[in-house]
Chain A
Amino acid sequence: MKEIVVISGKGGTGKTSLSAAFATLGPAKVVADCDVDAADLYLVLRPVNTHEQRFITGQKAVINEAACTNCGLCSEYCRFDAISQKNGKTIISGISCDGCQLCERICPEEAISMVQSDRSYWFSGTFRNGLMVHARLAPGEENSGKLVNVVREQARKTAACNELETIIIDGPPGTGCPVISSLTGAGQAVIVTEPGLSAFHDLKRLLQLINNFKIKSCVIINKYDLNESITNQMTEWLKGAGIPLAGKLPFDRLMVDAMLQCKSITEYSPDSELSNEIKSIWKFINEMP
């Protein structure tokens, strides 16, 4: 089984559009949208969900005012600055609470209880070129990577059960927990960047992270013609660092037009220069030693 993660460091470089293109090229595959914070891949792949499951992201402490004596012990022990006293009342901030449960355990009046955050879901289903696993993180929930783990694990199970060879993971931006969860156990990382100082900086940070995982990786410079001089700098830098450049893609409105039609670029305009280049990039990725 081959697991390919599409990531970027900086957001908005084109991860999801390229994941959609790869997903719809060649034989049937499993696709997992691990950007649970901004899950957009379903808009293009339009899966028919056959399974839906609630996911508990964590828990929050709530206080029973009637039982609370405002002794202040909980706020003294809370390391997340989540508990304060206002107008003679003890208040727990749902935003700051990390769900560690220490306050509930130490309250001498048993005035604190824990409530589960269960408004997030994950789904699995079929799309026109295989199977898809995706999720919806409820607004404001902790994205600890746990939901990403579930999506990734389900994708692996789905691939194994259905004897599908390739899993494509549309990853989240950044370098934190959700990215780490997406990379864990993957065979290959495809990094999508664009020619800008910000994206360049983020690319270097991301490669630092990937180094810890010893995953083979390659880079795609998307919208390369928006700044050819930075594209050249990036190309030189990658050469020096020994990281293969899988290809460069021009900025093209076709990419957005395809999205507006809920199609991948390779479906919407299969014979365009852009699609041909994406096909050769896909070949490059698959043939990487």
Chain B
Amino acid sequence: MKIAIASGKGGTGKTFVSTNLFWVAKLAGMSVTLIDCDAEEPNVREYIEENDCCSENVFQQIPVIDTSRCTFCGKCFEYCNYNAIVFLTANRFIRIVEDLCHDCGACSYACRDGAITEKKKLLGTVNTISKDPGTNVVEACTEVGVYSPVPVIKKALAHINSHEITLLDAPPGISCPFITTVAPADYVVLVAEPTPFGLNDLILSAETLRKLEKPFGVVINKAGLGNNDTGQWLESNKIPLLLEIPFDREIARLFAEGILPVKENIIFATLFKKLLNTILTSTP
């Protein structure tokens, strides 16, 4: 079963939920894979003991124009939908803006003069952090300054295997990186804070998941900090509340140091075991 852990707002506790779930699943003897898909700012690594560090590079193709062959016909410029080609007919000037290129291949197709070849550009890496017979932890990580994390996320998602449980730690927001991550999931856990900002972003995430027809439930994290509007909204929209995690300074302090609360605190371990069971029985 593939479970994505997501939230519209950043910092609500996605990684907190995914890493703790990973640990209780592992302790329960299940085979489990955890994939950190927050490729712009991956953080799962801080909580997992590394025992394997194999890394694969993710590249994109970038066109290269051979101006000695180019007839300056402008066809590639016309085909590029991303403004990644600057073309001035009168000056016989043509140049690729590498940062804007999406690697669609349209310019290569368009060129009839054999003037376009392609070179590789590094977008990021997919790193295996830890690997045992029953567990696997993988991280997607973009190079700093890369425009879109999506190609790196897609490569990381290729590590989905036949393990009983796969946890996908999603990037924040409701746009492409989030959609790409939740697409293969059977179930989505949205992590929300019970504050006006948290609720506003939760409503947007829920709307998106409904459109994608993904079953989902909500974990309220840092309960006790805001008000009860989030709980009421879930109830009136018939969205299952999977768990409420109370705000606790001691837990916050532990997690900040890279320590998983489920390892240290029996009450937390019980909460997360229950959460895992609830999720496993929630899916069709």
Contacts and interface: CB of A to CB of B under 8 A. Distances in A.
Interface of A: 8-13, 16, 37-38, 40, 43, 59, 77, 79-81, 95, 98-102, 105-106, 137, 139-145, 172-177, 179-180, 194-198, 201-202, 205, 208-209, 212, 226-227, 229-230, 251, 253, 256, 259-260, 262
Contacts of A177: 147-148
Contact of A106 (B109, B144, B173, B226): B109
Contact of A105 (B9, B79, B180): B79
Contact of A197 (B46, B173, B196, B205): B46
A91 B242 CA distance: 35
A175 B256 contact: no
At the interface, is chain A mostly helix, strand, loop or mixed? loop
A38 B173 contact: yes
A9 B46 CA distance: 16
B106 A38 contact: no
B211 A40 contact: no
B31 interface: no
B207 A98 contact: no
B20 interface: no
Interface stretch (B10-18, B21-29, B63-71, B266-274): B10-18
A144 B100 CA distance: 10
A102 B195 contact: no
Nearest to B104: A100
Interface residues of B, number: 59
B73 interface: no
Nearest to B80: A100
A152 B249 CA distance: 37
Contact of A99 (B10, B11, B81, B177): B81
Given A12-B11, A140-B179, A145 B147 contact: yes
Contacts of B43: 10, 197-198, 201-202
B97 interface: no
A79 B102 CA distance: 10
Contacts of B173: 37-38, 143, 172
B202 to A, nearest CB: 10
B98 interface: no
A43 B202 CA distance: 14
A152 B3 CA distance: 36
Contacts of A172: 173
Contacts of A209: 144-145
A260 B197 CA distance: 9
Contacts of A101: 79, 81, 106
